[in-house]
Structure formats: C-alpha cells, structure tokens
Structure 1
C-alpha cells in the first residue's frame, strides 16, 4: 500500500526543506549536496529554509550564502564525528583537538568565519538546539570560555541534510547567530533504512574506533511517518608522547616509581558513546500537521593531565620551586602545636630525593610527612567525564485561511559529570583519597515558538512573516564529594586545596542560576520587477537579567543575467552572555613559560574576580556586511562572498591575572579563602573589540571523465581577524595574537568525486595555511611559534553489490602529513611531540573500512 504521507514529494514536516526536479543539467557542488535518485533519474537540487522566512529556495537564488551537505556526502569520511565531517565540507569552518584540556576534552569547540563556537546558532529541524554544559576554558584563544551546543552527538545516519547559513542572522533567529546558522535536518523517510558498521585506527596502531549505526523509516498509518536512528561508538586512547626529561632523569637516578611515559598526551578514551534520535510527523488533515523529534545520548571519556614532578610541583611537593621538599607537621595541623622533629630542610634539587638521608630521617618520624610517601614517582591525574544529552520538541503547523502557522515547544538538557583519578587533595595529608567525584555542570533550556507567514499578492509577490519566542535557560553546578573541595588541616602549611588538577565544586560554588527572555520578529521579502529581490527583518528581545536589544537585517539580490546574480546583506546582531559564563566556577592547570600554575576561574562578580576588575557581563554587539556573486552556467557553479563582521564588547575569558602576595590581606578581607594557594585568576569580561573579514569561494563542475560521472568541487575560505581594542589589564598580547592568528588564514578543500555504476571514488585534498601554534595556551616565545602550512589527502573507495550492500575502504590523511612539531627545547618538557592547537588531527594518518546495508 502506498503511504499517503510519503507521496508528498518527501516534504519535511519540520524544517520545510524540499527537493524539486531540475529542468536543466546544472549541478550544485558537493558542499551543496546534490544527489541522485535511481539510475537514469533526473538530478535534484536540495533547497534550504535557513536564511529567509519566505518559502524555501535553491542555493543559487538565495540572497545570502548557504551550503547544503547531504547525509551521503557527510559519510564520505573516515571519522564518524559530525565536526570532522563538516570541516571538510564548509569553507571557513574550523575545529581543533583538545588532548589535555579539562572538561573541554569532552566537547570540541568549532569556529565559523573566525568567530567562537557560541557565535553560530545551531538548529535541529529549524528549532534552536540547547547548549552543552561544558565550557571551553582552554579554547585556543578564539574559543576561550565559549559555550556552544555539542553537535558531535548528532549522527549522520539521522540526517537528511545540513544547511549552513554563512551570514549574520540575529535579527531573524536571535542571540548567537553573529557568524551564521547551522540547521541539521533530520531524516523524514517513512520507509526503508540502513545498517552500517565502521572500524579504523591510526597508522601508529592506536586509537581503534568502532561505530555501528542503524536507521529505519516506518509509516505512521497512511498519513505520517516515524524515523528512528541509533548509533553506538567506542574509541581507544592515542598517545603521541615522549618521556619527559625530568621524569627520565629521576628514573635514571634510581626512582623505580616513574612511569614511561610519565604523561600520556593524546586523544581520550571514549566508552559507551550512544545516541538515539527519533523524528515523526502526522497529517491531521490537509491543512494541519503535528510533529515531534528528540534524542537521548550519552558518552564517557577518560583523558590525561600533566605530570606532577615529585621534586618541585608547587604546593604539593615544594614551596620554593624544588629547592626543598614541602614537609607537613601533623601536630601543627591537629592541635596547633608543632610535633615534627625534623627541623632542617630536605633538599629536593637532587637526582632522587627518596635516596637522601635527610628524606629518610624525616619520614621516620610519624609526625612528619611529604606527599612523596603516597606518590613517590610523582603522578599524572586522569580526568573522566560522562556527558548525558537529551532533547524533545513537539508542535503543530498548517494553514488558517491564507496564513501559514507553526507552533512548537521543546526542552533540551546537557549534563556533564566529572571525576578525577590518580590525584591527591594535598591539604588532607596522607589521609587523602586518590580518586574523586568532583561534581557536575548541567545546562537546561526550554523554548516556545509561534510563527506566522503569508504571501501577499503585491507586485511580484510579497512574503511577510512574524513570530514570538520565549526561552528559559539554566546552568546548575552540582557539589562534588567533600574530599574533592575541602580545605584540609594542612592547607595553612601551604598544601594545595582540593583534588589536584581539577578541584571539586564546593558548597559555595554549587547552585542553579536561570534567565528568561522573549523575542518578537517581523520579516519581509519581495521581488521588485524580474531582477531584484529585497528583504528586511527586525527583531526585539528582552532578557530578564540585563535588558533588551533591537536588531535588523537587510538583504538584496540582483539577477544581472540568467546565469549571473549579485547579492548583499547588512545586519546588526548580538550575543547574550550565557548563564554558564555568568556563574561558572572552576580550577584549571595552565602552562606559562613551561611551568604549571593553578588558575581559579571565577564568576565576574565573585570577590576574587571583582578585586581584579570583574564586572557584570553585557551582551556583545555586532555589525556585519556581506557582498557576493553567484554564477551558474551549464554544469558549472560558482559563488564568491566577502564578509566583514565587527564585534564590540566581545565576551571571552580573560588572560591569567597573577594573584600577588601584596594583595593577600585585602583578598582575605574580601572573603577569599587561602589566596596564597591561588597562582592566578581568570573570569569572563567584555574587554575587547574585533573586526573579522574574509572571502568564501565555493565552486563545482560536473562532467564525464574516465567513462564515468565526475564532479569537481572547491571550498575555499580566507579569514582575517584584527583586535581593534582591548584592555591590557585583562587581555595580554599573547591572547591577542591567538585571536588574530590562531586559525589558518587560508583553508581550502578540493574534491574529486568519481562514479562508475557500482564503483565510486572520493578523493579530497585539504589545505591549511600558516597559523600561530601554541601549547596549553602558552604564548611565550618558549611555547609558541608560527606553524607552517600543510596539505592532507583523504581517499575513499566503495563498491556496491546487490544494489543494497556497499563495502568501502579509505584513509584520512592518506600520506600521514605530520602536524607542527614542538620546538626541540620544549618537546620533552611538555611530554608531547606536537602543538595541540593545530587545525588538523595531530595523530596522523587513519585508515578504515565500512560496510553498509540499505533496505
């Protein structure tokens, strides 16, 4: 029996993305996701809803630049991570790995058009996606403190396509759309499905990953559909480590407790990574339709931290940079009377302190101790986290008289629960645990939308749209176990407070903060004559915490000929500080000039942050201009777009501000506990302005080559950021340089897609221009340099048997292009081989095999 719902040209009930048969042979490039139906059928062009509140239109007819990537094109990649898939498809879209970065190891931040991850609005089926609970405290400069959604939980098997609007759109969609909008359109098929399995590993022999996913479309009577997707992934850790010379030297001197390597630097281990997505729609009658979609996801990750040297780690083993050991006095901590009989110093600037007579004499007294007795070879904490993600949206859409309407409500939540292994709370002395539950972050968002649109028969047609949005978001910190945050009895003697490496959240940090806002918009678009398309949008939003904002957008497109058109846009925008950025508390370990320091991240109104200049956050504001051209002739398609985005009052994490000894008394008076144990503080602030400009070029050409169908496609992006103004008290020159040069100015991807009946080849070359490389955010000359440009090559070969079964093999970074290596003087000190801020995978070449069955 034919499904009534399916017969409606595959119209998505949720995002209004549609497909139409082309009368000609023009083909959109791979980045625009052209695909084919059965053999011999006409090629079809996907049409996007983002960028306009009017009826969906093709990419070439849009007054703003849009990329459309099909689910099949996303899968032509060895990685099953959505971020990796998009990096190879969208110009000016970048991401960086996070090998050692506290909670940010769990969620990789991304950049569109040189702006941080929370400057791009993420939609699923046209509805706002909730943010991740994790905040990128070490985000390579550009993403420092960014809190964007976690798009890696979205499996490609659950998608019909991805629409990427590369233009400011805050006047249409609200906060966060300064750089653009990404809309993930879920599969809405009412029949068929697929099962696939992928496994691969790096050329080095580690990092083995396995992914199994399945999708099925089912009819919901004759009038609807339900589409279900499940995915399960695991990935082993990688190690691109070298033995640190300090650890090697202590081992050579006879310390048998030193691990080799003492510190593992690489990808975290991923366990039990699963996602379930559901998408459904049902026609009540010819004029009204209900819909719903959502997901449940979870994953566990375990990664490494930096090595703690047993001779010199500050506030754990020493207070004087390794000259002498830090020796605890039991009686002094217990009743205020010193009982440790050792009155001298235990020299730590020796080959192996464990073998010295002074050390052995000191530990012979039960009233004396050092942390060497628990961790004689030093230690490298392991950070573990579990991320749980869920969302659910439901709505009804249809027509009343001549008006189209869409009413929806939904909620989303992301919770990250943290733990620390192989660590210490030094302030507890020898009674310290070594494993800690350090607490959790949770982000919850609820959204209600009501949208109306109508096409008026004025001139050549005028589309008017208006709507209302109410949102509420909350950020909650859950307290960790007491031993992870308590100031133990030895804190007054200089021993570090809390689980070392990632201090647990104490009662002063725990709590829930929320904020609500309303938004009202109007959008008009009309054709003036046969060649001009003009549009305008206006949006007003009012926030419960900091007030209101009004933004606008203007667009225009002029069709010079049937093949050539020009387009332009101008808009204002804003990004509200997230509730997490306003209230987050954390402790992180940073490297400055090769030395580990403990940095406290405080809310800007916290007494510690306020003492060093912290103030209540305000929204950042933007003004953007764009100008572009679209040329389409036969099988050739080309778009060129220039953009310029000015952001004022930009929100970001400040540089590390030193907590000075002369400030201790004032800080104590302000309520700061044990300021002498805090090396530096950082907080969120609106302290600088930037101008980001660039050019995006996307091209495609279809032809026949080697007796098969051939498509060549190019995606090129030039991005240039200039810091126009900054506060030298909170933003250092190193951070300015990372903002300006931290990602390659030039990025390009050239793809050759070839098909012969049942055999297909996809060959892709990726170019990464020069960029400013840093390690662990160390911008000193010791730990940073300009990195060279590089080219990586990806290849996938696939063969289809029995029309439904496909086998594929491939490799990412086929020729094993090395990432930028650390300088000789820093390589061993950091226990790593490569800079962590590179634009492509530092692990090297990766090969894989896939099997896919469609039914």
Structure 2
C-alpha cells in the first residue's frame, strides 16, 4: 500500500517537471510572485504582500482590512520541536495546541484551535488550495471533542516558505470551516540544498509527583491500608513510601532528519523536493498507583512497580515527503504540488490490575478468579496513518484577466490495532493478544476556477474584481476489524465484556461508505477609494447534496487616519457544513449488565436508535463575525495591531452525552429496539458567542553596533459563552450536553495568552528567546448539571497561569554549516497538579496532570541541531 502511494505521488509530481524554462508574460509572472511571496527580512514587515484574505492579489499586511499574521520559514525551523502544531502555538497568540493522552486515536492525531473555537472551524490551505481533513473524529476527553481537523503535523516545517494566518471569518471567500480564520501554508520554491538533523530528549523532574520506594508495612508485615475500599479489599488505597523528592524522568528521545532540495531548473520554473523522518520515543508522566493490585495477602503487593501506566506522548515514527513544482509554458504557468505522509504511532490505555475483573481468564476457571495476565496488563492502541495529496493547475492571463484552474485530491486513512490486550469473553485459550480493529478513511476532491482583474476607474484609485467557481466531492468510510476484536464470546454469560479491551474493533454493522458533493460560486469586489480609504465586499453561494444551499457575505474596510495609523473593520456571515464523519460515524461497544448483553452505540443521526430518541438531520453551523481594530506604524520597523472580534455561532454541532436511563429504555422499546441501553449521536446542540482581542507588535531595533534585534509581543484574550441549548422533545428532562463538556468549550482553553520573543544575530552568532504565558484553565468535576456555576461543583479545580520559556543559540562557523543548541520549557514548568482522592477520584493519583494543559506536561526538552545549506 505504501509503495503504491509513493509511486502515485512521484508520478504526479513528475508531470510538472520542467524540461526547459521560458519567459513568462508580465501579468502571469507577477501573479506567481504574489502567490508564492517570499519571507522578507526588511526593516518594515508590514510591507509584505499577503495572498490570504482576498482573491485579488497585491495587498500588503499594512493595507489589509483584516488581520493577517505572517510566519517565515526560518522562524519555523529555529525551534527544538519539529511538529508544526507545536511550533505555531509558540508563534501565534490565539493558536492553542494541548497535547492530550489516553484519548485513543487522538493521541496520534492531535487537534489545534484558533481563537478558542473548534478545530474544524479553522480552514487550512496549502498554496491557497483547500487541504483535506483527517479521517479521525475526536470522541474522548480532549479539547475539540466531537470534531475533526486537518492534521497539520503532516506538513513539515522545512517544506514551508511561510505561513499566513488570517484571523477573521472568511466563508464568503473560501467556503465551509473558515469561521475562526484561515491558515494558508505557502510551500518553498527555494533553490539549493538545505538539511538538518535535530536530536533532543526530556530531562525533567515531575512537579508534585513523588518518587515511590515501596509500600508501608505494619507489624504483621502486611501493607498499611490508607483508605479502605470495602468488600474484598480490591478497592483499598495503600500507604506508599517515598524518597521525599519529585520523580525524575529522562525520556521522549526525538530524532528528526529533514532535507529540502530545490533543483536549478531556470528563472521561470521551480522544482523542490522536501522530506522529513521523525522518530519520537514515548514519555511517561504517570504518578504512583496506590490501589491494591493483587488480592489480600499476596506478597507481590510489596514489590510491584507502582508506575504501571504510560501517560504522555506516544511513540511515533513519521515519514513525510513534499514536492512543489512549476513551469512556464509560453503564456501558461503549469504547477503541481503534493505530499505523502505515513505515521506509525501508539497510545496507551488504562492499566488493568491483576485483580481486575477484565483480566479474568474464564477459560481457566468459571468459579475461581484466575488472571489471564498474572501481573496485570497495559493495552495499547496502534495507529497507522496514511495521508497523501496531489494538486495540479494552470495559471495564465487572458485579456487582462488572471485565470487559475486547479484540482486537488487528498485522502487520509487511519488503521487501528490493539496490542497487549485481551477479549475477556473469549477466554485465554481463544483470545489473541493483538487485534486488527479496522479503520476509517476520508477523501476529498476539489476543483477550482478563479479569475481576477484590477481596473482603473475614474473616481477610484483602483478597483479589483474576482469571480470563482468550486466543485468538491467528499467520501468517508469505516472498515471492520477482525471478528475477535469485537465479538461477544461464550463467556459473556459469565459477565465477561466482549471486544478487544481499550478499543473494541469496528463491526461489519458499523461499516459505511458515503459521499457527498457541493458546488459553489463566489464574487469579490475590492476598491481603493483613495490612498487612505479602501473597501472589500464578497459573496458566496454554495449548494451541498446532503443539506441544501447556503449564502454568505462579507464587508470589510480600512481607513488611514494619518500616516502610520489606520482603522479597520469587518462584518461577515459564515458557515460550517456538518462533516461526513459527524453524520455517519458508527461504533458499538458491548457491556454485560446482569448477564444481559447491552450495546452502547455512537450512532449516525439517521440510525434507527438515534431517530427513536429524537435526532434530526444535521444543519450547518452558521456564524456572524464582527471585527474591528487599529494598526499603528509610528516609526520604521515598529508595527502594532490590535483587533477585537465577536463571533456568534448558531446550531453548533456537538456530540451528546451517553443518553441512558428508564426514559431512554422506554422510548427505545416503544420503537421496537432492544439490547441497547445507551446511545449518543451528533446534534445541533448549542449556540455560542466568542469575544476577544488580539494584539501583535513587532519591532526591528535600529542598529546599535552590537548586532540586530527583532522584538515580538503578542496578546490574546478570549471569552466564550454558551448562549442557548437544544433539547429533545421526546426526552424533555434529559441533558444533552452536560457540565463537563460545556465547560470544556467555554473554559477548557486559556482565557489569556501572552507571547514575548527576542531574536538576535551578529555575524556568525544568533539566538532566540521566547516566553509564553498561558492563562488559567478550568477543569470541571463530576457534576453533570450544566447549571452548577464554575468552581462550585465537586472535584472542580483550576490550572493556574504558567510561563513557559524557550531559548536557542546558533553559530555558523562557515556559511554552509550551522550548529544550534537549545531548550524548550527551560525552567521545567508543569501544569497544576490534579487533586486526588475523595471527590476527585483515584485516577488522579496516577494521572497527575490534566490533558487540558495548553502546553502539555512533558517538562524540559533539551536539543541540538546540525544544519547544512548549499
């Protein structure tokens, strides 16, 4: 499969390989330059031309009526982390990338957010073309639960010329998903050879997590029980002995090898190949488990390893290739670009103790507890992700009009396997230890025709017109796993759960293969009334085969008060189409309740179970974006922008709670459905309002004779509220979206974030220091009532604000060679330790840090990098 993907990728990019170069007409060459505008390092970055936020080329950052951040490729590679999401969260104040663990497939495909909204409410473009989403839906306890996202970590920093982040609603220009904004990744056209090797690892002490030496014993030589669990003692908490110091860890060794080769194919052509291999070993930030592991009296209780979980980054091997090519053939520029990525990753589940009923081998005895794994087991979910994309197009100038015709195909497939596990219902003789659990896939085809032109109009300085058409086809599939991964075996009658533990496989009844298409047309007008006043207007009509049509529009303007100071503002409507995954994802797990097999379903909205409970076909999310701000450029090299935003979203799509209870059972039985006691599905469940402020300042310090300094500061304040909630008329007393998930939307990300950075260079020496302050995050406890105020529920707690500081020093002994050393989180800061015991539960003993931490919980990361440039 992988060799076929690679052959397809190379064949597609070879079609654009130039044989020789020709001279381009000036209009086409200018458009090409604007489309792939290089990163500039001049004194005034506000003069950079940006291609995001308007289909009419030629706007600079300073002229743009909407906020656009530009991050150069050098900024992306001058870091220890080589995942794009981690780099962006260090560079963009309103970008958030928590790194959850114990979240199944999300451990390998982690989502990011912009302006606190859902991951799928930010549109991602590559070279101005829509990038396909990952197949995965985030269904567990992470930021972005219930949503999918583009896997930005498949896009490698060395392949990027620059990234433009549009922080404004743009559905009228780009279609679905662009509610929070747009991330446009411009691939490199740079000639020459660049390569680097980065190696790093975590060297850290876990804040407030004890290093355990054993179990305290009484005079009788038995473990001392700190908290009695009752019954047979299986739920006892034991008293542990410690060194009195925090646990020390050295792990997460990461090796990244990256290279980019730009071939010398002439002035009017480019051909760049980029590749990266990354090997990351896992990290473990678990705490000691004080629970009794064996039955009372077992001497192994005194010597068992109390660090029995793996909580942190999973093990990952990434293989990525990119190509970017263009060739001028007379009056037509042909171009193509594409990517191929393979990721092998794993994530751990919860440890099953030796005395856990899920570890019982009924094949050995149905009357006496015999463990299948004598010392318990830690199951793992393995993810094999295959991701590729190929795009091709042609640009030309016809009668003064710039025309661009393109097509893009992209797909993402994630196959799941489970290892070190057990299907208890099959018994130890028949159950495998490794299971093929099936998989999911998403594919997308997009075709675009864009034409634009600028006119000289008598009473205007300039007017631009752009018109475009788009066709999009999407497909989503679920593949069943092997029978042992989902089957309910003969010992279900004895109370044994069916399916592979940690991730039951997809069943044949879960398989789907669904598609939809859409057609869109847009128009944009841009007018410079004078050198001080400009306007932008855009409208887009789009029709989807599954839910109908939508119309969206935008108005934006900029007025220069005086030289170096301007006001800008925008108002727009937006939408996000319900994804195929949200409409058709289908999974089943089985529990044995009093000897009766009960299916717990994640059901499509059209499924009989969902319909019986009152589901409705999903409508698109609809948004109203308001924004306004000021730009200041008082002296050369110093730029400040401050922008307010207000985003109101109606019919936001969320995943319900597990709907269960007597009323649910009665309704299902009344509709002839038996064997299901709990179900969840997607609904247009809440309306939200998001308000905030973005402030970004950059200053290139005048030459003081000691080297060049560039200072950057950024601030984001973001407040999100749920303004309305949906109910099911068929179940009027049931809470569809409970307290924990509600607060994950409104308070599960930092309300404020501060970014400060300084870059320095003088001759062969350069350095970067940056620090980010992440504001408070609220972790909601066990109460299900959404009316309980923040902080008032049992087991509520807050993650305190934290400063995370990174530093890197570089030296270039010769032009072609660069050496760098640095540390991320140099002061080894951790999020607030989760309280444990009592109302907070026992899990927090061994899972000491919340997955909502906006900077993860791996501690200090040291690294070194060797770079070569020819």
* Residues 422 and 432 in structure 2, CA contact (< 8 A), matched pair in contact too: yes
TM-score normalised per structure 1 = 0.86
* Residues 589 and 598 in structure 1, CA contact (< 8 A), matched pair in contact too: yes
Cα distance in 2 between the residues matched to 1:742 and 1:173: 28
* Residues 39 and 161 in structure 2, CA contact (< 8 A), matched pair in contact too: no
Cα distance in 2 between the residues matched to 1:291 and 1:639: 35
Match runs of 1:453-472 below 5 Å: 453-458=452-457, 459-472=460-473
Deviations 1:661-685 (A, max 9, x none): 6755764675766435xxx432211
Aligned to 1:16: 35
Choose which of 374, 377, 380 in structure 2 pairs with 1:379: 377
* Residues 247 and 258 in structure 1, CA contact (< 8 A), matched pair in contact too: no
Cα distance in 2 between the residues matched to 1:403 and 1:129: 26
Cα distance in 1 between the residues matched to 2:106 and 2:709: 40
Aligned to 1:516: 517
Cα distance in 1 between the residues matched to 2:833 and 2:264: 54
Is 1:796 aligned to 2:781, yes or no?
no
Cα distance in 2 between the residues matched to 1:616 and 1:785: 37
Cα distance in 2 between the residues matched to 1:104 and 1:64: 33
Cα distance in 1 between the residues matched to 2:256 and 2:193: 17
* Residues 473 and 517 in structure 2, CA contact (< 8 A), matched pair in contact too: yes
Cα distance in 1 between the residues matched to 2:24 and 2:39: 15
Aligned to 1:219: 264
For the residue of structure 2 that corresponds to 1:850, the secondary structure is: strand
Cα gap change, 1:618 to 1:371, in 2 (>3 Å): farther
1:641 Cα deviation after fit: 0.2
Deviations 1:588-647 (A, max 9, x none): 899xxxxxx996422223233334443221101000100011101222110000000000
Aligned length: 778
1:706 Cα deviation after fit: 7.0
Aligned to 1:477: 478
Choose which of 748, 756, 760 in structure 2 pairs with 1:742: 748
Choose which of 734, 737, 745 in structure 2 pairs with 1:731: 737
Aligned to 1:412: 410
Match runs of 1:520-669 below 5 Å: 520-586=521-587, 600-633=601-634, 634-657=636-659, 659-660=660-661, 663-664=664-665, 667=668
Deviations 1:518-574 (A, max 9, x none): 010000000113321011000000000010000000000001111101100000000
Cα gap change, 1:823 to 1:802, in 2 (>3 Å): same
Deviations 1:262-312 (A, max 9, x none): 2211110112x1100000000012x31000000111011112101234545
Match runs of 1:292-441 below 5 Å: 292-311=336-355, 313=357, 316=358, 368=366, 372-430=370-428, 431-441=430-440
Is 1:834 aligned to 2:849, yes or no?
yes
* Residues 5 and 225 in structure 1, CA contact (< 8 A), matched pair in contact too: no
Cα distance in 2 between the residues matched to 1:58 and 1:701: 17
Cα distance in 1 between the residues matched to 2:563 and 2:371: 80
Cα distance in 1 between the residues matched to 2:270 and 2:326: 6
Cα distance in 2 between the residues matched to 1:77 and 1:267: 18
* Residues 372 and 378 in structure 1, CA contact (< 8 A), matched pair in contact too: no
1:427 Cα deviation after fit: 2.4
Deviations 1:766-799 (A, max 9, x none): 1011111369999995654111101011000000
Cα gap change, 1:646 to 1:56, in 2 (>3 Å): same
For the residue of structure 2 that corresponds to 1:72, the secondary structure is: helix
1:170 Cα deviation after fit: 0.1
Cα distance in 2 between the residues matched to 1:17 and 1:768: 33
For the residue of structure 2 that corresponds to 1:73, the secondary structure is: helix
1:486 Cα deviation after fit: 1.8
Is 1:810 aligned to 2:810, yes or no?
no
Aligned to 2:772: 766
Aligned to 2:75: 73
Cα gap change, 1:251 to 1:549, in 2 (>3 Å): farther
1:723 Cα deviation after fit: 0.6
Aligned to 1:360: none
Cα distance in 1 between the residues matched to 2:445 and 2:622: 24
* Residues 627 and 642 in structure 1, CA contact (< 8 A), matched pair in contact too: yes
Cα gap change, 1:99 to 1:447, in 2 (>3 Å): same
Cα distance in 2 between the residues matched to 1:180 and 1:582: 24
Aligned to 2:236: none
Cα gap change, 1:848 to 1:758, in 2 (>3 Å): same
Moved more, 7-16 or 458-467: 7-16
* Residues 102 and 588 in structure 1, CA contact (< 8 A), matched pair in contact too: no
Cα distance in 1 between the residues matched to 2:406 and 2:187: 17
* Residues 739 and 780 in structure 2, CA contact (< 8 A), matched pair in contact too: no
For the residue of structure 2 that corresponds to 1:491, the secondary structure is: helix
1:739 Cα deviation after fit: 1.3
* Residues 425 and 499 in structure 1, CA contact (< 8 A), matched pair in contact too: yes
Aligned to 1:353: none
For the residue of structure 1 that corresponds to 2:92, the secondary structure is: coil
Cα distance in 1 between the residues matched to 2:515 and 2:823: 46
Cα distance in 1 between the residues matched to 2:706 and 2:297: 64
* Residues 461 and 530 in structure 2, CA contact (< 8 A), matched pair in contact too: yes
Cα distance in 2 between the residues matched to 1:605 and 1:471: 23
For the residue of structure 2 that corresponds to 1:78, the secondary structure is: coil
1:255 Cα deviation after fit: 4.7
Deviations 1:463-494 (A, max 9, x none): 00001000000110011001111222333443
* Residues 310 and 377 in structure 1, CA contact (< 8 A), matched pair in contact too: yes
Aligned to 2:445: 446
* Residues 20 and 266 in structure 2, CA contact (< 8 A), matched pair in contact too: no
Moved more, 438-447 or 765-774: 765-774
Cα gap change, 1:484 to 1:758, in 2 (>3 Å): same
For the residue of structure 2 that corresponds to 1:560, the secondary structure is: strand
Cα distance in 2 between the residues matched to 1:238 and 1:849: 19
Cα distance in 1 between the residues matched to 2:693 and 2:103: 32
* Residues 13 and 291 in structure 1, CA contact (< 8 A), matched pair in contact too: no
For the residue of structure 2 that corresponds to 1:517, the secondary structure is: strand
1:171 Cα deviation after fit: 0.4
Deviations 1:647-705 (A, max 9, x none): 00001222233x336755764675766435xxx43221101000001000000112145
* Residues 415 and 441 in structure 1, CA contact (< 8 A), matched pair in contact too: yes
1:228 Cα deviation after fit: 0.4
Match runs of 1:144-183 below 5 Å: 144-183=145-184
Match runs of 1:480-491 below 5 Å: 480-491=481-492
User: Structure 1: which 5+ residue stretches go unaligned?
Assistant: 33-44, 318-325, 331-362, 591-596
Is 1:253 aligned to 2:268, yes or no?
no
Aligned to 1:348: none
Aligned to 1:823: 835
1:60 Cα deviation after fit: 1.1
* Residues 16 and 56 in structure 1, CA contact (< 8 A), matched pair in contact too: no
Cα gap change, 1:139 to 1:52, in 2 (>3 Å): farther
Cα gap change, 1:186 to 1:775, in 2 (>3 Å): farther
For the residue of structure 1 that corresponds to 2:387, the secondary structure is: strand
For the residue of structure 2 that corresponds to 1:108, the secondary structure is: coil
Deviations 1:204-226 (A, max 9, x none): 31000000000011133564121
Aligned to 1:269: 315
Cα distance in 2 between the residues matched to 1:136 and 1:649: 19
Cα gap change, 1:2 to 1:258, in 2 (>3 Å): same
Cα distance in 2 between the residues matched to 1:778 and 1:211: 44
Cα distance in 2 between the residues matched to 1:507 and 1:793: 49
* Residues 109 and 139 in structure 1, CA contact (< 8 A), matched pair in contact too: no
Cα distance in 1 between the residues matched to 2:361 and 2:407: 59
TM-score normalised per structure 2 = 0.85
Aligned to 1:288: 332
